[in-house]
């Protein structure tokens, strides 16, 4: 009898343990779910969030120049103000965590009578960007339409601006982009479109499905360029050389990259060239540090190995999902003169 009771108790403990493990695994699964979107052309849309996110509003502003509260001063010669620049970006995700639409609003107020508002509207279908509309001060500016093949590869982009541009993209059997051709359409005398002319042709070559070389021919400028990439054993890009191949082959720029063991980019260096700038000043080296949540906490810009140019530091405040909900940006010429220059706040709604 006692043995029977002990068996019952042991069985109950076993089932309770299984139930506890099952509940814990469900909880961990929900915590480990990721809401993410990445786009090669519009990197500012790239985002990765923990949990199942339904809606995100992110507001960026200078701490003393919030456009909703800015005060103007009048003088005899007119009106002056320090001005304000606010960015707002709104993400909506479906239950499959695909983006449905994104709106980016840029507000620039230079004075009471000098205001600009740009709104960029991005619409998606099954996670693919299908249209991009730009409005300036509420009026239509231009529209881009994106089309894809059955493998979700972008095959064409048609942009209506003062001139019409169309990108045609081709892929190999491994879905690697091998050619991108940009066509330029001019408007005829009666408003119709003339026969398109090729503006740019870019060809890409791969090794082990990694981009090895690319060639670019710009018809309008009669300019030809060539890029060669090298990777480490983990497939990370560590060396990029860009050449101009017009009359002679000239090495125009050379970049090298270093990574932490977890894959985070920690050092970027421009060996040849004069293309990298911050605040209109050239730099050669960028050192980046991250926190345990893989967010950037510090970036140091150098003119040379021992000559710093600028320091940027970030402070974060997190919610229960370990998503940051407030980020403060500090800038200075060195670590001793940092001052706050920007604040970003997030309002996140979860499923």
Task: Parse the chain into domains and list their residue ranges.
Answer: 1-32, 37-148
pTM reported for the whole predicted model: 0.79
**Average pLDDT taken over every residue of the chain:** 84
Average pLDDT over residues 34-45: 88
> pLDDT band for position 24 (50/70/90)?
very low
pLDDT recorded at residue 111:
64
Q: Where are the beta strands (DSSP E) in 23-76?
A: 34-37, 47-50, 53-61, 73-75
Task: Choose the weakest-confidence range: 62-66, 122-126, 211-215, 289-293.
Answer: 62-66
- For position 12, what pLDDT does the model report? 43
Q: Report which of residues 340 and 304 the model is more confident about.
A: 340
Q: List the beta bridge partners of residue 142.
A: 134
What is residue 184's predicted lDDT score, i.e. its pLDDT?
Answer: 87
Residue among 300, 266, 342 at smallest CA distance from 63: 342
Q: Is 266 left (phi over 0), alpha (psi -120 to 50) or beta?
A: alpha
Structure confidence at residue 112 (pLDDT): 61
* pLDDT for 306 beyond 90: no
**pLDDT average, residue stretch 41-55:** 92
The dihedrals phi and psi of 251, each to the nearest 5 degrees, come to -75, 110
Higher pLDDT, 211 or 80: 211
Q: Where are the beta strands (DSSP E) in 149-236?
A: 154-160, 164-171, 177-185, 197-207, 210-218, 223-231
Asked whether residue 255 carries a pLDDT value surpassing 70, the answer given is yes
């Amino acid at each position: 009898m006692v043995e029977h009771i002990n068996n019952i108790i042991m069985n109950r403990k076993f089932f309770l343990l299984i139930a506890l493990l099952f509940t814990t695994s469900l909880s961990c699964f929900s915590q480990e779910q990721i809401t993410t979107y990445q786009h090669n052309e519009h990197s500012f849309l790239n985002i990765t969030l923990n949990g199942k996110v339904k809606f995100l509003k992110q507001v960026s502003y200078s701490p003393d120049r919030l456009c909703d509260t800015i005060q103007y001063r009048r003088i005899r010669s007119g009106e002056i103000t320090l001005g304000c620049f606010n960015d707002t970006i709104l993400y909506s995700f479906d239950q499959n965590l695909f983006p449905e639409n994104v709106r980016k609003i840029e507000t620039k107020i230079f004075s009471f009578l000098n205001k600009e508002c740009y709104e960029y509207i991005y619409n998606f279908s099954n996670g693919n960007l299908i249209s991009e509309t730009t409005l300036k001060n509420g009026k239509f500016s231009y529209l881009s339409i994106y089309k894809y093949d059955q493998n979700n590869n972008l095959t064409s982009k048609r942009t209506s601006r003062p001139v019409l541009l169309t990108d045609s993209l081709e892929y190999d059997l491994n879905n690697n982009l091998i050619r991108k051709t940009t066509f330029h359409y001019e408007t005829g005398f009666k408003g119709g479109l003339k026969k398109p002319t090729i503006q740019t042709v870019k060809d890409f070559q791969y090794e082990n499905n990694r981009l090895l070389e690319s060639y670019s021919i710009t018809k309008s400028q009669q300019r030809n360029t060539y890029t060669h990439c090298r990777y480490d054993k983990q497939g990370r890009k560590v060396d990029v050389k860009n050449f101009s191949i017009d009359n002679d082959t000239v090495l125009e720029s050379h970049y090298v990259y270093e990574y932490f063991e977890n894959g985070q980019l920690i050092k970027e260096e421009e060996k040849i060239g004069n293309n990298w700038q911050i605040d209109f000043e050239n730099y050669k080296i960028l050192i980046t540090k991250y926190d345990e949540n893989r967010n950037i906490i510090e970036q140091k810009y150098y003119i040379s190995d021992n000559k710093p140019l600028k320091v940027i530091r970030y402070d974060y405040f997190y919610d229960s999902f370990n998503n940051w909900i407030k980020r403060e940006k500090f800038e200075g010429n060195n670590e001793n003169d940092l001052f706050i220059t920007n604040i970003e706040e997030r309002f996140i709604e979860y499923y």
